[in-house]
Amino acid sequence: PFLYGIFANEMFYTTKSIWMPTGFHWLWNYTITSLFLVTGTQSFIYVHIIAAMIIMIPLFYIVIGKTRLSGD
């Protein structure tokens, strides 16, 4: 939860919209529920949360960087 809070703050700060972190959170919950079909167990999910953060945060910065460059 703490890492997502930092990540959501970065999404809000860079896009100036509350809908980016809200949509990402909804997509995350939908994906986890669809892939693992469980929501109550947390022992195996933490590994996937860390892996997804390692993958998604650099991709987010790449996409935002390209958006800023093309918007200028």
Instruction: Note the pTM of the prediction, 2 decimals.
Output: 0.43
In the chain, alpha helices (H): 2-15, 19-36, 45-71
Spell out the domain ranges in the chain. Answer: 2-71
Residue type for position 62: I
Residue 55 scores a pLDDT above 70: yes
Q: What is the pLDDT of residues 4-35, one digit of tens each?
A: 788 888 888 888 888 888 888 888 777 777 66
Q: What angle do CA 38, 43, 44 make, to 5 degrees?
A: 70
Backbone angles phi, psi at 48, to 5 degrees: -70, -35
